[in-house]
Chain A
Amino acid sequence: MSRPAQQQPPYEDDPLNPKVAASALDLLLIELVPLAQRITEHLLAREQAILDEYKRSRLFNRTASKVPAKSQASTVTNGAGSLTVAGARGGVIGGGAEDGVVVGSEGKAEVKDHKDGEEHATTSLGFPIMSEETRERVFWRLDGMGYRVGQGLVERFSVNKPRPTTPLEAIKFICKDLWILVFRKQIDNLKTNHRGIFVLTDTKFQPLGRMSVDRRTGIRGAEEALARAQTYLYFPCGVIRGALAGLGVEATVEASSTEIPTATFQIKQKGAKA
């Protein structure tokens, strides 16, 4: 098969001010969610191992058996080893989130008592479902990553644009410019109650656009898909929050999806009234 020679469009590649690589970002976001999950689970396992060892040394004071202690130690080092690989990415960004995470896990680990390497429940298609505890932390981690990305993005891409004077203008910047850069389309619908609450609706949200739903199992399949899709919404939440923080608007962002591929983002400004 031969193709006629095509003219390459001129790419203005300015190394000092590069553009966003959209397809690379898409693939990276897809990988980001399992990555966050793995990091969180390793952290949890490590915490659990350390706490188990501590409990054991207190309970069986002098008769502490060496064998369990060794296996605990090896899982700890394994966790630490894989953490350094994955940690370079989430290390700096997740550093702040980690403090909150560690405190939470200590409290929870006292109550629970699960083994390492537990069996994961799986969905109909065979994907592991996260436990409640893991979910919260994964969401927090993803949000934190998105936050830093949002701050950097807004600095770079608001360079020649007029300065947003009101929060509404800042949100419009996000709906138009930022969304186009990151997801290659604009937000379809923006609603506000003029008292600090904004609702952004995207009918064909890019990360959710290619997700498959197992319709064989009927409604249950759709619900499972929604629950798994929820994880992919947290990074964009963080990006919005970071972008707003960069523009001087303090807000919380929540995302939800009732139907794939529609996504709704709710932005609540600090001190807003419903």
Chain B
Amino acid sequence: MPLLTTTKQYTNNALQNNPLHIALFPATGPEGQTQERNRLEYSFMLNSSLDIFEARMPSKTIGHDFGLLHALDERIALYGWLTNTGVKLVVVVDMEGRTAPSPEAAKIAILGLRNSDLTPAFQALQTAYIRLLRNPFYVPDDHDPRTNRNRGSMEITSPRYIKEVERIGKAWYPGITAI
């Protein structure tokens, strides 16, 4: 089963993007061990996928689901979702998969990934973000490069949000209906 890395970026019409959060999940090595992923490599990948949102914007008037943004090579595929407020959610799927958590799960063969497989993940991520906005200590203006006054890190620091993203990433597999 595939693994995910996820991220979120914030944008406005003046094309300034600010990564709000990046979560990486370990890959499965040759003997079934877990290997950490290279954060820099995935940062580059995610940043470059943002242009695809801009490029497809004129023709994609309805809907938030951008589906498959780009398939990098045989292994890595990027999927995207744009909210009404300009927050972009990008999920990178590693086709190599991970060791199945249970014997029954191991018997399910996954042949390919459909766009609709990722919808529960995006919806869960969006719900987590909305929940973050209901936290009075989270001020959206601090995380927007145009209005930020502190000039410090503009990433999300809320522990609950970070844990929620981890949970979504670990729980997801193709075919899951709701996370």
Contact = CB atoms under 8 A, between A and B. Distances in A.
Q: Do A and B come from one complex?
A: yes
Contacts of B139: 92-93, 95-96, 148
A247 B84 contact: yes
Contacts of B116: none
Interface stretch (B21-29, B33-41, B107-115, B125-133): B125-133
A133 interface: no
B61 interface: yes
Interface string B46-79: 0000000000000001111000000000000000
A148 to B, nearest CB: 7
A246 interface: yes
A92 B61 CA distance: 36
Nearest to A156: B130
Contacts, number: 64
Interface in A219-274: 246-248
Interface residues of A, number: 22
B127 A155 contact: no
B172 to A, nearest CB: 17
Contact of B85 (A92, A96, A248): A248
B86 interface: yes
B13 A152 contact: no
B61 A155 contact: no
B13 A155 contact: no
A269 to B, nearest CB: 12
A156 B133 contact: yes
Contacts of B137: 92
Given A156-B130, A247-B84, A163 B64 contact: yes
Interface residues of B, number: 25
A194 interface: no
A154 B133 CA distance: 10
A162 B83 CA distance: 10
Contact of A248 (B86, B131, B136): B86
B84 A164 contact: yes
A24 to B, nearest CB: 15
A151 B133 CA distance: 8
A161 interface: yes
A70 B168 CA distance: 58
B141 A161 contact: no
A212 interface: no
B134 interface: yes
28 contacts: A16-B127, A92-B137, A92-B139, A95-B139, A96-B141, A96-B149, A152-B133, A152-B134, A152-B140, A154-B85, A155-B83, A155-B129, A155-B133, A158-B83, A158-B85, A159-B84, A159-B126, A163-B61, A163-B62, A163-B63, A163-B82, A163-B84, A164-B84, A165-B61, A246-B85, A248-B13, A248-B85, A248-B86
Interface of A: 16-17, 92-93, 95-96, 148, 151-152, 154-156, 158-159, 161-165, 246-248
Given A148-B140, A152-B134, A163-B61, 11 more contacts: A151-B141, A152-B133, A162-B61, A162-B63, A163-B63, A163-B64, A246-B140, A247-B85, A247-B86, A248-B13, A248-B86
